Structure 1
Amino acid sequence: MANRVVVDPITRIEGHLRIEVVPKNGYIKNAFSSTQMWRGIEVILQGRDPDDAWMFTQRICGVCTTVHAIASVRSVENALQLEIPYNAQMVRNLIIAAHALHDHIVHFYHLSALDWVDVVSALKADPHKAAKIAESYQNWKLNGAPIFKAVQDKLKKFVESGQLGPFANGYWGHPAMKLPPEVNLIAVTHYLQALDYQRKADQAIAILGGKNPHIQNLAVGGVSTAINPDNEATLNMERLYYIKQLLEEVREFVHNCYVPDVIAIAAFYKEWLKYGRGVDNYLAVPDLPQDTKGETFDIYGGTIFGGDLSTVKPIRSFNDPYFRDNVVENITHSWYRGDWTRHPWDEETVPNYTGMPGGYVNENGKYSWTKAPRFKKDGTHVPMQVGPLAQILVSYALGHKLTRKYVDSALEQLKSVLSLLGESSDGVDINALQSTPGRHLARALRAQVLSDLALKQWEQLVDNVGRGDLEIYNPPSYPAGEVKGVGFHEAPRGTLSHWVVIENGKIKNYQAVVPSTWNSSPMDDKGQHGPYEASLIGNPIAEPEKPLEVLRTVHSFDPCIACAVHMVDPEDGSEITKVKVL
C-alpha cells in the first residue's frame, strides 16, 4: 500500500505496538495504532476465587504489576462495599507513590529522552560550559565539570570500542535533533544518575510489598504487611525510617533534576508545543484515599472535554456513578467476535484474529487487539486521553493546591529558560501542556506532587501507628447471588479500572480497562480516532525513512517493548530498510 510508514514494533515500551502513518508534504495526514499481542487474563480469571484475582492480574504486564494488583483488590472490595483499615490504605498509598516515582523517572530518562537527546553529540561538548548551562536552570548536587567530563570519557570509550551499549542504534544526527552538545552531555549524565534514583524508589516498594516486581503483600480487605514498631520481623520503625530516607532522596532528584531537565528540553524544542495534542477530552480518577471508605483523596479525578478546563467535572469516590455508569468499550476495529459497544460488566472476551489483509491496516476492518474505550457524554460515546496530562489538568482545574503550585512554578521556569535562549514565551500557559513535550512536563510535575505526597502518607502512617493502631486487614465475606464492583487507580500511565462480576463467591466476568487501552485504541464505530492516532495527525515527519517524530509523540504517552523498526517507502509501499532502534 502506497503512502504508509510502518513502525513495528515501537521500541522502548512494554508490549508490541505497531504504528502506521500516512505522510504527505512533510506532515502526517493519517495514523493507525495496532496492538499486536493478546494475553487473555480476563478469560483465565473466570470461575476463580476473587481473593486470588490480584495475583493473576499483576501478570498482565511486566512493568505495571503493582497497579493491576491495586485495581484488582479494589474492584472486589467495591463489590462487597468493604472498608479498608487506615494503615492498609497508607501502606498501599506509599506503594502507589513509590511505583509512580520509579515509573516516571524511568519513562523520561530511559525510554523517551533519547528521542530528543543526541548522545553522540555529547562527545563534542565542553564540560565546563555544560556546567555553567546546568547551573543556569537547575540546582542539582551531582552537576559540575568534573562529573560531566567523567561521563564524556566513559561515553568516548563506548564509541571507540564500537559498542554503544544502551545508546546503540539511535537516530543520532537526525535533522530533528537540535540540542547543543553541552545540553546533550547534561542529559546523558542525568540519564546515568537516574538509574540510581529509580532504584531507590523500587527499594521502598520491595520493603513494603515483599518483592518487586509482583508485590506479595496485598489482600482483599487490606494488606498482609504486619506492623509492629518493636518487632524485627515486621514493618518496624527502622524499616519505616529507611523508607522515608529513600523517598526523600528520590524527592530531591525529582525536584532539582528531573523537572528542570524536562523544562529545558521543552524550551529548546519550543516549536513542538504546538504538536501532538490529539484527543483533548481528558479522564482521571482520584487516588491516595485518605479514609477507610474511599471518599476523600489526596489526588483528584474528573473529566475535561474539548481541552476546556472550565468543563471539569469531578469524580468524587470509589462509588461515584459518574465514572461507574459512563465507561463503555467498542470492538468495531478490534480482533474480537462481534461488533458492539458495551459496558465492561456486560462484555465478553472472545478473540477473533482476522489479520491484516495486504499487510497493512484496513481502516474499514479490524486491525488491533485493543478495544476502543469510550466515555458517555450527552448521550454519545467519545474518546478520552488518560495519563499524567489528564490528571494534572483535572487537578489544576479543580484547585488542587500542590498541582497549582508546581504547574505555575514550572511555567514560569519555562518562560525564564526561553528568555535565556532569546525565545518568546507567548502562548506558554496551562494550555501549552496539551502537546507532545507538555505530556512529559505533566508527568514530571505529577512526580513532583507525588514526591511530596509520599512523605505525607508516611507521616500519617507513622502517626497512626504511634497511637497504637496496628490493624491492617478486614476479612471479606462473599454473599450468595451476584455482586458487581469496579476498582480504579490513577496509575503512572493514567486511569486504570478493573470490573468484576462475582456470582456465589466465584468470578463470573472480569474486564480490565487499562490506560494504554484508552490511549492506543483503534477507531470506533463512529470513525473517531483514539489518542495515539489523533495525536500523530498533523505532526511533522522530516524523513520517512527515519520517523523520529512518530516516536516522540507516541513515547510521550508512555505506552506499556522493543526490537526492530520496519519502514515503508511512501511512493510504492515497498520496504526500503529495516533497522534496530533504541
Structure 2
Amino acid sequence: GKGMIKPGVLLNGDYKNVLPFDQDKIKEFVTSAWYKYTEGRDAGLAPYDGETNADYNGPRPPYKWLSDHPQYTWVKAPRYDGHAMAVGPNARMMIGYAQGVPAIVERVDAACDKLGIPRDNAFLNSTLGRVYGRSLDALINVDMMVNQLQEMTDRIKNGETATFNPEKWEPETWPSSCKGVGWVEAPRGSLSHWVRIENGQTVNYQAVVPSTWNSSGRDAEGQMGPYEYSLAHTGKHPLVDPTRPVEPLRTVHSYDPCQSCAVHLFDEEGEAILTRQDP
C-alpha cells in the first residue's frame, strides 16, 4: 500500500541502498548447533530442504561453561547469501528510512534531533535504536489501523465479509507435487514457513523464525549471529560492574528474545522428553 515498507535487504553497513530481497538466497547452518545434517555439520540447506535432526553432544549436567564446546545451542544459523542478518522492528524501520517512508523518516529524524546526534539511519542499529524501533513500529501500526478502520468498516457494510481466499483451500485442488512459503512481518521480525508436498502429503515443513535469525550461533565460516556480534565484535562492550552485568542483558533484551523454540528437555540418561502424543 501507499507509504508502506517494501521488502528489501541492507548489507555490509550500507544503510542507504536497499537491495532487492531474494528468498532463494537463504540457507540454514547447524555448525554450532546440536543438530546434524545428512551432508555434514558444515553444510547449508535451503529451508525447503531443511533437516531437523537432534544431535546433542554437549557436556552432561551439571556444567558451568559451554564456551569451550564447538556446539553450544539449539538454534540453527540462517544466513542470507552468506550473511548473518538482523531482523525486527528496527530492521523494518531502517528499510523504511532508506526507502523514504515519510512516517518513519520524520520520526527517526526527530529522535536524532532530540538526542543531539546526526540524522543517520545507523542510529537504529544499536541497543537504543532497537528499543526505539519497537516503539516506533507500534505507533506506525496503530496509525495504519486507525486510517484503515473506516475503509474496512465500509467494506463490511457493503457485504465484503470474506476473511480468506478459498481458491486453494481444498487439498483436492493442489498439484500432486508442489512447494510454497508464507512470509509475514511478525512483531519480532521476518517469519517464514516453508512446505513441500509430494503426492498430497507434507514431506517437509520448516519454519525460519525471527529469533532464529537474531540468536543464531556461528556458521561454517565462523560468522557470529546478531546477539553474539552485538556483544563481542569490538571487544569493547560496556560493562561497568562485572558483578552486576546489566549492560549485556540490556543489549540482548533490546532484540526482544523469544527462545522457547531453543529449549529441549532431556532426562538424566540423555533421552529426549517428549510431550507429543501420537494418535
List runs of 5+ in structure 2 lacking aligned partners: 261-279
Amino acid at match of 1:306: N
Q: Which of 419, 433, 451 is equivalent to 2:142?
A: 451
Asked if the contact 2:15–2:122 (Cα under 8 Å) also holds between the matched residues in 1, the reply is no
Q: Which of 514, 519, 538 is equivalent to 2:214?
A: 519
Compare 360-369 and 523-532 and name the one that shifted more: 360-369
Supply the distance in 2 between the matched residues of 1:438 and 1:363 (Cα, whole angstroms).
Answer: 32
Amino acid at match of 1:398: Q
Q: How many residues align?
A: 247
Q: Which residue matches 1:375?
A: 80
Structure 1 segment 38-187 matched on structure 2, within 5 A: none
1:69-122 deviation per Cα after TM superposition (whole angstroms, max 9, x unaligned): xxxxxxxxxxxxxxxxxxxxxxxxxxxxxxxxxxxxxxxxxxxxxxxxxxxxxx
Is 1:468 the counterpart of 2:159 in the alignment?
yes
Q: RMSD of aligned C-alpha atoms?
A: 2.2
Distance change (3 Å), C-alpha of 1:447 and 1:531: same
Q: Which residue matches 2:265?
A: none
Is 1:313 the counterpart of 2:6 in the alignment?
no
Is 1:330 the counterpart of 2:29 in the alignment?
yes
Supply the distance in 2 between the matched residues of 1:426 and 1:451 (Cα, whole angstroms).
Answer: 27
Supply the distance in 2 between the matched residues of 1:561 and 1:489 (Cα, whole angstroms).
Answer: 19
Higher relative contact order (CA 8 A, sep 6+): 1
Between structures 1 and 2, the one with greater helix share: 1
How far apart are 1:502 and its partner, in Å? 1.7
Structure 1 segment 504-543 matched on structure 2, within 5 A: 504-537=199-232, 538-543=236-241
Q: What TM-score comes out, normalization by structure 2 length?
A: 0.81
How far apart are 1:362 and its partner, in Å? 4.2
Q: Which residue matches 2:65?
A: 360
Asked if the contact 1:372–1:518 (Cα under 8 Å) also holds between the matched residues in 2, the reply is yes
Q: Which residue matches 1:483?
A: 178
Amino acid at match of 1:405: E
How far apart are 1:400 and its partner, in Å? 1.6
Supply the distance in 1 between the matched residues of 2:107 and 2:7 (Cα, whole angstroms).
Answer: 18
Asked if the contact 2:215–2:225 (Cα under 8 Å) also holds between the matched residues in 1, the reply is yes
1:163-202 deviation per Cα after TM superposition (whole angstroms, max 9, x unaligned): xxxxxxxxxxxxxxxxxxxxxxxxxxxxxxxxxxxxxxxx
Q: Which residue matches 1:69?
A: none
How far apart are 1:348 and its partner, in Å? 1.1
Greater C-alpha radius of gyration? 1
Q: Which residue matches 1:386?
A: 87
Asked if the contact 1:299–1:395 (Cα under 8 Å) also holds between the matched residues in 2, the reply is yes
Supply the distance in 2 between the matched residues of 1:531 and 1:456 (Cα, whole angstroms).
Answer: 35
Q: What TM-score comes out, normalization by structure 1 length?
A: 0.40
How far apart are 1:561 and its partner, in Å? 7.5
Supply the distance in 2 between the matched residues of 1:386 and 1:326 (Cα, whole angstroms).
Answer: 16
How far apart are 1:524 and its partner, in Å? 0.5
Supply the distance in 1 between the matched residues of 2:96 and 2:184 (Cα, whole angstroms).
Answer: 15
Is 1:411 the counterpart of 2:109 in the alignment?
no
Supply the distance in 2 between the matched residues of 1:297 and 1:433 (Cα, whole angstroms).
Answer: 20
Supply the distance in 2 between the matched residues of 1:561 and 1:482 (Cα, whole angstroms).
Answer: 34
How far apart are 1:298 and its partner, in Å? 3.4
Q: Which of 549, 571, 574 is equivalent to 2:247?
A: 549
How far apart are 1:306 and its partner, in Å? 2.1
Task: Tell me the percent identity.
Answer: 41
Asked if the contact 1:483–1:503 (Cα under 8 Å) also holds between the matched residues in 2, the reply is yes
1:308-343 deviation per Cα after TM superposition (whole angstroms, max 9, x unaligned): 12331244xxxxxx1x21111000111012312110
Asked if the contact 2:16–2:121 (Cα under 8 Å) also holds between the matched residues in 1, the reply is no
Amino acid at match of 1:486: V
Q: Which residue matches 1:492?
A: 187
Distance change (3 Å), C-alpha of 1:532 and 1:356: farther
Supply the distance in 2 between the matched residues of 1:442 and 1:313 (Cα, whole angstroms).
Answer: 21
